[in-house]
A and B are shown apart, each in its own frame.
Chain A
Amino acid sequence: MAAQRLECELVTDAKLSATIASEFGAQNGIPEKAWPHLATSILAKLGVQQHLVISSIGSELLLRNIPGMLRAHVVAPEARRLGNIMLDRRLERAEAKRQLREMEKETALTRKKRFGRAGSRVQSFDLVMNAEGLATEQMSDVLDSAVRAKGLLEAGLLTAAAEAQIQFQVRLKLARYGIVPPDRLQVRHKEFGHPSEEVFANLLDFYRIAWDYEPRSFPLQWDKDGKVQEAFTPDFYLPEFDMYVELTTMKQAHVTKKNRKIRLLRAIYPHVNIQVFYQKDVQDLVIKYGLPERLAQ
Protein backbone atom coordinates (compact mmCIF):
# COMPACT_ATOMS: atom_id res chain seq x y z
CA MET A 1 0.00 0.00 0.00
CA ALA A 2 2.85 2.37 0.91
CA ALA A 3 4.65 1.45 -2.31
CA GLN A 4 1.58 2.33 -4.34
CA ARG A 5 0.96 5.55 -2.45
CA LEU A 6 4.57 6.69 -2.87
CA GLU A 7 4.76 5.35 -6.44
CA CYS A 8 7.78 3.24 -5.56
CA GLU A 9 8.75 -0.23 -6.69
CA LEU A 10 7.84 -2.86 -4.07
CA VAL A 11 10.63 -5.35 -3.41
CA THR A 12 9.35 -8.26 -1.33
CA ASP A 13 11.36 -11.05 0.26
CA ALA A 14 10.08 -13.42 -2.45
CA LYS A 15 11.05 -11.02 -5.24
CA LEU A 16 14.48 -10.45 -3.73
CA SER A 17 15.08 -14.18 -3.32
CA ALA A 18 13.87 -14.87 -6.87
CA THR A 19 16.17 -12.15 -8.27
CA ILE A 20 19.09 -13.51 -6.26
CA ALA A 21 18.37 -16.98 -7.62
CA SER A 22 18.10 -15.79 -11.22
CA GLU A 23 21.08 -13.41 -11.09
CA PHE A 24 23.46 -15.51 -9.01
CA GLY A 25 22.29 -19.02 -9.84
CA ALA A 26 20.40 -21.58 -7.76
CA GLN A 27 19.94 -20.49 -4.17
CA ASN A 28 21.02 -23.86 -2.82
CA GLY A 29 24.58 -23.07 -3.83
CA ILE A 30 24.63 -19.71 -2.04
CA PRO A 31 25.49 -19.60 1.67
CA GLU A 32 22.84 -17.81 3.77
CA LYS A 33 25.53 -15.54 5.22
CA ALA A 34 26.17 -14.18 1.72
CA TRP A 35 22.46 -13.28 1.40
CA PRO A 36 22.71 -9.73 2.83
CA HIS A 37 25.52 -8.89 0.40
CA LEU A 38 23.68 -10.33 -2.57
CA ALA A 39 20.55 -8.45 -1.56
CA THR A 40 22.55 -5.24 -1.09
CA SER A 41 24.06 -5.60 -4.57
CA ILE A 42 20.63 -6.05 -6.17
CA LEU A 43 18.97 -3.26 -4.16
CA ALA A 44 21.78 -0.85 -5.06
CA LYS A 45 21.33 -1.63 -8.76
CA LEU A 46 17.57 -1.12 -8.48
CA GLY A 47 17.98 2.01 -6.34
CA VAL A 48 19.77 3.81 -9.16
CA GLN A 49 16.74 3.37 -11.40
CA GLN A 50 13.78 3.86 -9.07
CA HIS A 51 12.67 4.53 -5.52
CA LEU A 52 12.08 1.33 -3.60
CA VAL A 53 9.91 0.05 -0.78
CA ILE A 54 11.68 -3.01 0.60
CA SER A 55 9.66 -5.55 2.56
CA SER A 56 11.98 -8.37 3.51
CA ILE A 57 13.12 -10.19 6.66
CA GLY A 58 15.89 -8.13 8.24
CA SER A 59 15.84 -5.48 5.50
CA GLU A 60 16.42 -2.78 8.13
CA LEU A 61 19.96 -4.15 8.38
CA LEU A 62 20.68 -3.69 4.66
CA LEU A 63 22.28 -0.56 3.18
CA ARG A 64 22.94 0.75 6.65
CA ASN A 65 25.27 3.54 5.57
CA ILE A 66 22.91 5.00 2.99
CA PRO A 67 21.24 8.21 4.26
CA GLY A 68 18.28 8.15 1.87
CA MET A 69 16.46 5.40 3.75
CA LEU A 70 13.54 5.29 6.14
CA ARG A 71 13.42 2.14 8.25
CA ALA A 72 9.92 1.38 9.46
CA HIS A 73 8.59 -1.53 11.49
CA VAL A 74 4.96 -2.54 11.90
CA VAL A 75 3.91 -4.67 14.82
CA ALA A 76 0.47 -6.24 15.08
CA PRO A 77 -1.31 -7.79 18.06
CA GLU A 78 -1.47 -11.56 18.09
CA ALA A 79 -5.25 -11.45 17.61
CA ARG A 80 -4.85 -9.77 14.25
CA ARG A 81 -2.11 -12.10 13.06
CA LEU A 82 -4.12 -15.09 14.24
CA GLY A 83 -7.20 -13.79 12.47
CA ASN A 84 -5.33 -13.54 9.18
CA ILE A 85 -4.03 -17.10 9.46
CA MET A 86 -7.46 -18.47 10.43
CA LEU A 87 -8.87 -16.87 7.35
CA ASP A 88 -6.16 -17.60 4.84
CA ARG A 89 -5.83 -21.23 5.83
CA ARG A 90 -9.37 -21.92 7.06
CA LEU A 91 -8.18 -23.00 10.50
CA GLU A 92 -9.60 -23.14 13.98
CA ARG A 93 -7.96 -20.72 16.38
CA ALA A 94 -5.86 -23.42 18.14
CA GLU A 95 -4.32 -24.71 14.90
CA ALA A 96 -3.80 -21.16 13.63
CA LYS A 97 -1.91 -20.41 16.84
CA ARG A 98 0.32 -23.44 16.32
CA GLN A 99 1.06 -22.42 12.74
CA LEU A 100 1.73 -18.83 13.78
CA ARG A 101 4.36 -20.11 16.22
CA GLU A 102 5.91 -22.17 13.41
CA MET A 103 6.03 -19.14 11.12
CA GLU A 104 7.59 -17.00 13.83
CA LYS A 105 10.20 -19.71 14.44
CA GLU A 106 10.95 -19.91 10.73
CA THR A 107 11.32 -16.13 10.39
CA ALA A 108 13.63 -16.03 13.42
CA LEU A 109 15.72 -18.85 11.95
CA THR A 110 16.00 -17.12 8.55
CA ARG A 111 17.01 -13.89 10.26
CA LYS A 112 19.56 -15.74 12.40
CA LYS A 113 21.09 -17.45 9.36
CA ARG A 114 21.24 -14.26 7.32
CA PHE A 115 22.17 -11.68 9.94
CA GLY A 116 23.40 -13.65 12.94
CA ARG A 117 20.57 -12.66 15.28
CA ALA A 118 17.07 -14.06 15.62
CA GLY A 119 15.18 -10.90 16.56
CA SER A 120 14.99 -7.30 15.44
CA ARG A 121 15.98 -4.39 17.66
CA VAL A 122 13.80 -1.34 17.97
CA GLN A 123 16.93 0.86 17.69
CA SER A 124 17.37 -0.35 14.11
CA PHE A 125 14.23 1.53 13.01
CA ASP A 126 13.38 5.17 12.47
CA LEU A 127 9.69 4.49 12.93
CA VAL A 128 7.72 1.76 14.73
CA MET A 129 3.93 1.53 14.29
CA ASN A 130 1.41 -0.65 16.08
CA ALA A 131 -1.46 -2.01 13.99
CA GLU A 132 -3.52 -2.33 17.16
CA GLY A 133 -4.05 1.41 17.34
CA LEU A 134 -3.50 2.41 13.73
CA ALA A 135 -5.52 1.32 10.73
CA THR A 136 -3.66 0.40 7.55
CA GLU A 137 -4.67 3.69 5.92
CA GLN A 138 -3.39 5.65 8.93
CA MET A 139 -0.06 3.81 8.87
CA SER A 140 0.19 4.58 5.20
CA ASP A 141 -0.43 8.27 6.00
CA VAL A 142 2.30 8.24 8.65
CA LEU A 143 4.78 6.58 6.27
CA ASP A 144 3.92 9.02 3.52
CA SER A 145 4.49 11.96 5.89
CA ALA A 146 7.75 10.51 7.21
CA VAL A 147 9.11 9.93 3.70
CA ARG A 148 8.23 13.48 2.69
CA ALA A 149 9.54 14.96 5.96
CA LYS A 150 12.89 13.27 5.32
CA GLY A 151 12.81 14.56 1.74
CA LEU A 152 13.55 11.09 0.39
CA LEU A 153 11.69 11.50 -2.88
CA GLU A 154 13.05 14.99 -3.53
CA ALA A 155 16.62 13.86 -2.79
CA GLY A 156 16.55 11.78 -5.95
CA LEU A 157 17.70 8.26 -6.68
CA LEU A 158 20.86 6.56 -5.55
CA THR A 159 23.71 8.10 -7.53
CA ALA A 160 25.88 6.03 -9.84
CA ALA A 161 28.93 6.93 -7.73
CA ALA A 162 27.24 5.74 -4.53
CA GLU A 163 26.17 2.53 -6.25
CA ALA A 164 29.71 1.92 -7.54
CA GLN A 165 31.04 2.30 -4.01
CA ILE A 166 28.44 -0.12 -2.63
CA GLN A 167 29.16 -2.65 -5.38
CA PHE A 168 32.91 -2.41 -4.71
CA GLN A 169 32.38 -3.24 -1.03
CA VAL A 170 29.92 -6.00 -1.88
CA ARG A 171 32.42 -7.55 -4.32
CA LEU A 172 35.01 -7.72 -1.57
CA LYS A 173 32.52 -9.39 0.80
CA LEU A 174 31.23 -11.85 -1.82
CA ALA A 175 34.76 -12.81 -2.89
CA ARG A 176 34.96 -14.78 0.37
CA TYR A 177 32.21 -17.02 -0.98
CA GLY A 178 33.58 -17.14 -4.53
CA ILE A 179 30.56 -15.19 -5.88
CA VAL A 180 30.86 -12.50 -8.55
CA PRO A 181 27.90 -10.09 -8.92
CA PRO A 182 26.53 -9.63 -12.45
CA ASP A 183 27.32 -6.36 -14.21
CA ARG A 184 23.80 -5.68 -15.34
CA LEU A 185 20.45 -6.44 -13.78
CA GLN A 186 17.30 -6.85 -15.80
CA VAL A 187 14.66 -4.55 -14.39
CA ARG A 188 11.11 -4.64 -15.60
CA HIS A 189 9.24 -1.44 -16.19
CA LYS A 190 5.49 -1.45 -16.14
CA GLU A 191 4.25 -0.30 -19.51
CA PHE A 192 0.76 -1.55 -20.04
CA GLY A 193 -0.28 -2.75 -23.46
CA HIS A 194 -3.89 -1.60 -23.07
CA PRO A 195 -5.67 0.92 -20.81
CA SER A 196 -7.81 -1.91 -19.39
CA GLU A 197 -4.63 -3.51 -18.01
CA GLU A 198 -3.83 -0.35 -16.12
CA VAL A 199 -7.38 -0.27 -14.76
CA PHE A 200 -7.07 -3.88 -13.66
CA ALA A 201 -3.72 -3.09 -11.98
CA ASN A 202 -5.40 -0.18 -10.19
CA LEU A 203 -8.18 -2.51 -9.10
CA LEU A 204 -5.65 -4.93 -7.62
CA ASP A 205 -3.89 -2.04 -5.89
CA PHE A 206 -7.26 -0.84 -4.57
CA TYR A 207 -7.74 -4.23 -2.90
CA ARG A 208 -4.07 -4.39 -1.81
CA ILE A 209 -3.39 -7.47 -3.87
CA ALA A 210 0.24 -7.91 -4.94
CA TRP A 211 0.81 -8.37 -8.68
CA ASP A 212 3.49 -8.63 -11.31
CA TYR A 213 2.97 -7.50 -14.89
CA GLU A 214 3.96 -10.04 -17.55
CA PRO A 215 6.57 -11.69 -15.35
CA ARG A 216 6.87 -14.92 -17.31
CA SER A 217 6.51 -16.30 -20.83
CA PHE A 218 5.43 -19.88 -21.36
CA PRO A 219 6.90 -21.60 -24.45
CA LEU A 220 4.11 -23.34 -26.39
CA GLN A 221 5.82 -24.66 -29.53
CA TRP A 222 9.37 -25.61 -30.33
CA ASP A 223 11.12 -26.41 -33.61
CA LYS A 224 13.08 -29.64 -34.13
CA ASP A 225 16.16 -28.02 -32.56
CA GLY A 226 14.24 -27.21 -29.44
CA LYS A 227 14.09 -23.47 -30.22
CA VAL A 228 10.92 -21.80 -28.96
CA GLN A 229 8.66 -20.85 -31.86
CA GLU A 230 5.59 -19.73 -29.99
CA ALA A 231 5.11 -18.50 -26.45
CA PHE A 232 2.37 -16.97 -24.35
CA THR A 233 2.85 -14.23 -21.73
CA PRO A 234 -0.14 -13.75 -19.41
CA ASP A 235 -0.75 -10.13 -18.40
CA PHE A 236 -0.65 -10.50 -14.63
CA TYR A 237 0.66 -12.83 -11.98
CA LEU A 238 -0.83 -12.69 -8.48
CA PRO A 239 1.78 -14.33 -6.23
CA GLU A 240 -0.52 -14.56 -3.20
CA PHE A 241 -2.91 -16.80 -5.11
CA ASP A 242 -0.36 -18.32 -7.49
CA MET A 243 -2.62 -17.26 -10.36
CA TYR A 244 -2.11 -15.70 -13.77
CA VAL A 245 -4.73 -13.37 -15.23
CA GLU A 246 -5.12 -12.60 -18.91
CA LEU A 247 -7.29 -9.71 -20.09
CA THR A 248 -8.75 -10.01 -23.55
CA THR A 249 -10.35 -6.89 -24.96
CA MET A 250 -9.86 -7.41 -28.66
CA LYS A 251 -11.69 -8.48 -31.80
CA GLN A 252 -13.19 -11.97 -32.02
CA ALA A 253 -10.60 -13.16 -34.58
CA HIS A 254 -7.80 -12.34 -32.15
CA VAL A 255 -9.76 -13.82 -29.25
CA THR A 256 -9.97 -17.15 -31.09
CA LYS A 257 -6.21 -17.11 -31.60
CA LYS A 258 -5.60 -16.24 -27.99
CA ASN A 259 -8.04 -18.93 -26.78
CA ARG A 260 -6.02 -21.46 -28.73
CA LYS A 261 -2.86 -20.34 -26.96
CA ILE A 262 -4.55 -20.52 -23.56
CA ARG A 263 -5.81 -24.06 -24.32
CA LEU A 264 -2.25 -25.04 -25.24
CA LEU A 265 -0.90 -23.42 -22.11
CA ARG A 266 -3.36 -25.39 -19.95
CA ALA A 267 -2.46 -28.61 -21.73
CA ILE A 268 1.32 -28.18 -21.49
CA TYR A 269 1.36 -26.60 -18.03
CA PRO A 270 -1.59 -28.20 -16.21
CA HIS A 271 -0.46 -26.88 -12.84
CA VAL A 272 -0.56 -23.24 -13.94
CA ASN A 273 -3.69 -21.44 -12.76
CA ILE A 274 -4.89 -18.92 -15.28
CA GLN A 275 -8.05 -16.84 -15.27
CA VAL A 276 -9.14 -15.20 -18.51
CA PHE A 277 -11.19 -12.02 -18.53
CA TYR A 278 -12.94 -11.37 -21.82
CA GLN A 279 -14.19 -8.02 -23.04
CA LYS A 280 -17.62 -8.70 -21.51
CA ASP A 281 -16.06 -9.44 -18.11
CA VAL A 282 -13.96 -6.30 -18.26
CA GLN A 283 -17.06 -4.34 -19.25
CA ASP A 284 -18.91 -5.75 -16.23
CA LEU A 285 -16.05 -4.73 -13.95
CA VAL A 286 -16.13 -1.25 -15.44
CA ILE A 287 -19.86 -0.99 -14.68
CA LYS A 288 -19.56 -2.58 -11.25
CA TYR A 289 -16.78 -0.26 -10.12
CA GLY A 290 -18.15 2.84 -11.84
CA LEU A 291 -15.14 3.34 -14.12
CA PRO A 292 -15.08 5.46 -17.27
CA GLU A 293 -16.92 3.38 -19.89
CA ARG A 294 -14.32 4.09 -22.62
CA LEU A 295 -12.08 1.64 -20.76
CA ALA A 296 -14.38 -1.23 -21.66
CA GLN A 297 -14.13 -0.47 -25.36
Chain B
Amino acid sequence: MSEPAIERILFSAEQIDQRIREVAAEISAKYAGREVKLIAVLKGSVFFLTALVRELSVPVKVDFLAVSRFANQKGAPGMVRIAKDLDDSIEGEDVILVEDIVDTGFTTRYLLQHLAAREPNSLAICTLLDRTPRRIVRVPIDYRCFEIPDRFVVGFGLDYKQLYRNLKYVAALNLEAPGPGA
Protein backbone atom coordinates (compact mmCIF):
# COMPACT_ATOMS: atom_id res chain seq x y z
CA MET B 1 0.00 0.00 0.00
CA SER B 2 1.36 3.44 -0.89
CA GLU B 3 2.02 5.97 1.85
CA PRO B 4 -0.47 8.82 2.13
CA ALA B 5 0.53 12.42 1.51
CA ILE B 6 0.35 15.53 3.66
CA GLU B 7 -2.58 17.43 2.20
CA ARG B 8 -2.29 20.73 3.99
CA ILE B 9 -1.06 22.26 7.19
CA LEU B 10 -3.94 22.97 9.55
CA PHE B 11 -1.94 24.66 12.32
CA SER B 12 1.58 25.96 11.92
CA ALA B 13 4.28 25.67 14.58
CA GLU B 14 3.78 29.37 15.40
CA GLN B 15 0.01 29.02 15.75
CA ILE B 16 0.45 26.00 18.01
CA ASP B 17 3.02 27.80 20.22
CA GLN B 18 0.78 30.84 20.51
CA ARG B 19 -2.32 28.83 21.39
CA ILE B 20 -0.45 26.71 23.94
CA ARG B 21 0.73 29.90 25.65
CA GLU B 22 -2.89 31.12 25.84
CA VAL B 23 -4.20 27.85 27.25
CA ALA B 24 -1.29 27.68 29.72
CA ALA B 25 -2.19 31.18 30.91
CA GLU B 26 -5.81 30.07 31.46
CA ILE B 27 -4.65 27.04 33.45
CA SER B 28 -2.17 29.11 35.47
CA ALA B 29 -4.91 31.60 36.36
CA LYS B 30 -7.39 28.89 37.33
CA TYR B 31 -4.90 27.02 39.52
CA ALA B 32 -3.15 30.09 40.97
CA GLY B 33 -1.74 29.35 44.42
CA ARG B 34 -2.13 25.60 43.92
CA GLU B 35 0.00 22.80 42.59
CA VAL B 36 -1.25 20.93 39.56
CA LYS B 37 -0.49 17.46 38.26
CA LEU B 38 -0.56 16.92 34.51
CA ILE B 39 -1.10 13.37 33.32
CA ALA B 40 -0.29 12.59 29.71
CA VAL B 41 -1.46 9.59 27.75
CA LEU B 42 1.39 7.84 25.96
CA LYS B 43 2.51 8.27 23.29
CA GLY B 44 0.96 11.11 21.33
CA SER B 45 0.27 13.49 24.23
CA VAL B 46 3.88 13.68 25.37
CA PHE B 47 4.72 16.30 22.73
CA PHE B 48 1.84 18.54 23.81
CA LEU B 49 2.55 17.98 27.52
CA THR B 50 6.17 19.07 27.28
CA ALA B 51 5.22 22.21 25.37
CA LEU B 52 2.40 23.03 27.79
CA VAL B 53 4.28 22.60 31.08
CA ARG B 54 7.03 24.96 29.94
CA GLU B 55 4.45 27.74 29.72
CA LEU B 56 2.73 27.13 33.08
CA SER B 57 3.49 29.52 35.92
CA VAL B 58 2.07 27.32 38.71
CA PRO B 59 4.00 24.48 40.37
CA VAL B 60 3.52 21.41 38.22
CA LYS B 61 4.14 17.67 38.44
CA VAL B 62 3.83 15.23 35.55
CA ASP B 63 2.95 11.57 35.27
CA PHE B 64 2.09 9.20 32.43
CA LEU B 65 -0.50 6.60 31.54
CA ALA B 66 -0.85 4.18 28.65
CA VAL B 67 -3.81 2.08 27.58
CA SER B 68 -3.75 -1.27 25.88
CA ARG B 69 -4.18 -1.58 22.13
CA PHE B 70 -7.59 -2.49 20.75
CA ALA B 71 -6.51 -5.56 18.82
CA ASN B 72 -3.92 -8.15 19.72
CA GLN B 73 -1.48 -9.60 17.21
CA LYS B 74 -4.17 -11.91 15.83
CA GLY B 75 -6.52 -8.95 15.37
CA ALA B 76 -8.89 -10.06 18.14
CA PRO B 77 -10.35 -7.31 20.30
CA GLY B 78 -9.50 -7.53 23.97
CA MET B 79 -10.74 -5.36 26.75
CA VAL B 80 -9.34 -1.93 27.44
CA ARG B 81 -6.92 -1.87 30.35
CA ILE B 82 -4.19 0.33 31.71
CA ALA B 83 -0.96 -0.80 30.04
CA LYS B 84 1.16 1.63 32.08
CA ASP B 85 -0.23 3.02 35.31
CA LEU B 86 0.67 6.20 37.16
CA ASP B 87 3.90 6.17 39.12
CA ASP B 88 2.44 8.13 42.04
CA SER B 89 -0.86 8.57 43.86
CA ILE B 90 -3.14 11.43 42.82
CA GLU B 91 -5.24 11.39 45.98
CA GLY B 92 -6.19 14.93 46.94
CA GLU B 93 -4.38 16.47 43.95
CA ASP B 94 -5.65 18.81 41.25
CA VAL B 95 -5.26 16.71 38.13
CA ILE B 96 -5.39 17.63 34.46
CA LEU B 97 -5.55 14.83 31.92
CA VAL B 98 -3.57 15.94 28.87
CA GLU B 99 -4.68 14.51 25.53
CA ASP B 100 -3.34 15.04 22.02
CA ILE B 101 -6.78 14.57 20.50
CA VAL B 102 -10.28 13.83 21.76
CA ASP B 103 -12.18 12.03 19.04
CA THR B 104 -15.00 9.56 19.79
CA GLY B 105 -14.31 10.13 23.51
CA PHE B 106 -13.98 6.39 24.19
CA THR B 107 -10.43 6.46 25.53
CA THR B 108 -10.88 9.73 27.40
CA ARG B 109 -13.97 8.44 29.19
CA TYR B 110 -12.16 5.27 30.23
CA LEU B 111 -9.17 7.24 31.53
CA LEU B 112 -11.38 9.69 33.42
CA GLN B 113 -13.16 6.80 35.12
CA HIS B 114 -9.80 5.30 36.03
CA LEU B 115 -8.50 8.59 37.44
CA ALA B 116 -11.71 9.60 39.23
CA ALA B 117 -11.55 6.42 41.33
CA ARG B 118 -8.14 7.55 42.68
CA GLU B 119 -9.74 10.34 44.73
CA PRO B 120 -8.22 13.45 43.16
CA ASN B 121 -9.34 16.81 44.52
CA SER B 122 -10.34 17.85 41.02
CA LEU B 123 -10.08 16.43 37.53
CA ALA B 124 -9.99 18.39 34.27
CA ILE B 125 -9.19 17.65 30.63
CA CYS B 126 -6.86 19.61 28.40
CA THR B 127 -6.53 18.60 24.75
CA LEU B 128 -4.48 19.91 21.87
CA LEU B 129 -7.16 18.95 19.34
CA ASP B 130 -10.87 18.44 19.71
CA ARG B 131 -12.61 16.66 16.86
CA THR B 132 -16.25 17.12 17.85
CA PRO B 133 -17.84 15.79 14.62
CA ARG B 134 -16.84 12.27 15.68
CA ARG B 135 -17.87 12.57 19.32
CA ILE B 136 -19.95 9.72 20.69
CA VAL B 137 -19.18 9.94 24.39
CA ARG B 138 -19.86 13.36 25.86
CA VAL B 139 -16.67 14.11 27.78
CA PRO B 140 -16.30 17.47 29.50
CA ILE B 141 -13.32 19.29 27.97
CA ASP B 142 -12.03 22.13 30.10
CA TYR B 143 -9.19 23.37 27.90
CA ARG B 144 -8.74 22.90 24.17
CA CYS B 145 -6.22 24.46 21.84
CA PHE B 146 -7.99 23.83 18.54
CA GLU B 147 -11.18 22.34 17.22
CA ILE B 148 -10.57 20.41 14.04
CA PRO B 149 -12.76 19.24 11.18
CA ASP B 150 -13.47 15.62 10.40
CA ARG B 151 -10.04 14.89 8.92
CA PHE B 152 -7.23 12.46 9.63
CA VAL B 153 -4.47 14.55 11.19
CA VAL B 154 -0.83 14.00 12.00
CA GLY B 155 2.02 15.93 13.56
CA PHE B 156 2.89 17.36 16.98
CA GLY B 157 2.62 13.87 18.48
CA LEU B 158 -0.16 12.50 16.29
CA ASP B 159 0.82 9.60 14.09
CA TYR B 160 -0.04 7.53 11.09
CA LYS B 161 1.37 4.05 11.69
CA GLN B 162 3.75 5.57 14.27
CA LEU B 163 5.17 8.09 11.78
CA TYR B 164 4.80 11.89 11.52
CA ARG B 165 4.82 12.47 15.29
CA ASN B 166 7.89 14.65 14.96
CA LEU B 167 6.28 17.28 12.72
CA LYS B 168 6.27 20.72 14.33
CA TYR B 169 2.87 21.45 12.83
CA VAL B 170 -0.49 19.67 12.60
CA ALA B 171 -1.49 18.60 9.10
CA ALA B 172 -4.34 16.84 7.37
CA LEU B 173 -3.28 13.59 5.79
CA ASN B 174 -4.78 12.49 2.50
CA LEU B 175 -5.18 8.76 2.91
CA GLU B 176 -6.16 8.31 -0.72
CA ALA B 177 -3.22 10.03 -2.41
CA PRO B 178 0.27 8.50 -2.42
CA GLY B 179 3.04 10.57 -0.91
CA PRO B 180 6.32 11.52 -2.52
CA GLY B 181 7.98 8.37 -1.24
CA ALA B 182 5.36 6.04 -2.73
Contact = CB atoms under 8 A, between A and B. Distances in A.
Interface of A: 1, 4-5, 79-80, 83-84, 86-87, 90, 135, 137, 140, 202-203, 205-209, 238, 241, 243, 245, 275, 277, 280-281, 283-285, 287-293
The 3 closest A-B pairs by CB, nearest first: A83-B116, A289-B70, A202-B77
Contact of B123 (A4, A86, A202): A86
Contacts of B113: 83-84, 87
Interface string B78-103: 11110000000000000000000001
B119 interface: yes
Interface of B: 1, 69-71, 75, 77-81, 103-104, 106-107, 109-110, 112-113, 116-119, 123, 134-138, 140, 150, 152, 160-161, 175
Nearest to B140: A90
25 contacts: A79-B119, A83-B117, A84-B116, A86-B116, A87-B112, A87-B113, A87-B116, A203-B106, A206-B70, A206-B77, A207-B106, A207-B110, A208-B80, A209-B106, A238-B136, A243-B136, A281-B134, A283-B175, A284-B152, A284-B175, A287-B160, A289-B69, A290-B69, A290-B70, A291-B75
B66 to A, nearest CB: 15
A285 B81 CA distance: 19
B123 A87 contact: yes
A6 to B, nearest CB: 13
A6 B97 CA distance: 33
A1 B78 CA distance: 10
Q: Secondary structure at chain B's binding surface: helix, strand, loop or mixed?
A: loop
Contacts of A241: 136-138
Nearest to A76: B117
A234 B112 CA distance: 28
Nearest to B82: A135
Given A206-B78, A206-B79, A289 B71 contact: yes
Contacts of B118: 83
Contacts of B75: 291-292
Nearest to A275: B136
Nearest to A281: B134
A162 B108 CA distance: 46
Given A86-B116, A203-B77, A207-B107, A280 B123 contact: no
A291 B137 contact: no
B117 A290 contact: no
Nearest to B152: A284
A243 to B, nearest CB: 6
Contacts of B107: 207
